[in-house]
Amino acid sequence: MKRRLPIVGKIMLVVCASIVFNSQFSKFNTLQAQEHSATKAMCLSILPGAGQVYNHQAWKIPIIYGAFAGMSYFVYDNYQSMKMFKDEYLFRVNNPGATNLPAYATYPDNSIKSLYNSYNQTYQLMIIITVGIYALNLVDAYVFGHLFEFQMNDDISLGPGVMASPFGLHPTVGLTFNL
């Protein structure tokens, strides 16, 4: 049986491919002025890491996918533990005096419920953190898309100066940026 990609996935794939193709095609078109777009970088980051590649920061991709892999592990592990303790608690409620997990036979029912609640809260927290990492991926692409053409100037000086106030002139030490 052949698996099919959902329609939303197909649409996202076509949009991302067309954005990437257009950005790559514009590099070779000498008549068209090249302009780096922060919005384009953020849109590309719908696929995590694509915006970072657009911003010439491909070194961030392993960090992003490593964070997603780690969080996926924690989400899965907490879900499995939560489900195990939920099933055990429901088994005990429906069959008083019986236990489904021999390793936890000495635990009272309220401890099993507390373990379920603890793993449930941790599971939900891991999902929130995963969504936060995804949002951070989008924000990173957008911010560094804006900073893409930012140039550092070596003409920064530190030295004495004079500052005027209502009481006269006062000597100061200042930092000067020449742009």
**CB contact set of 157 (below 8 Å; sequence gap of 6+):** 175, 176, 178
- Span 43-76, pLDDT tens digits: 888 999 999 999 999 999 999 999 999 999 999 9
Rounded Cα–Cα distance for residues 130 and 54 (Å): 23
Confidence of residue 136 (pLDDT cuts 50, 70, 90): very high
**pLDDT at position 132:** 96
Rounded Cα–Cα distance for residues 142 and 86 (Å): 42
Please give the model's pTM, rounded to 2 decimal places: 0.65
**pLDDT at position 96:** 87
Rounded Cα–Cα distance for residues 141 and 61 (Å): 11
Please, what sign has the CA dihedral across residues 104, 109, 111, 113?
positive
Q: What SS3 state is found at 162?
A: strand
Residue 18 has pLDDT above 70, yes or no: no
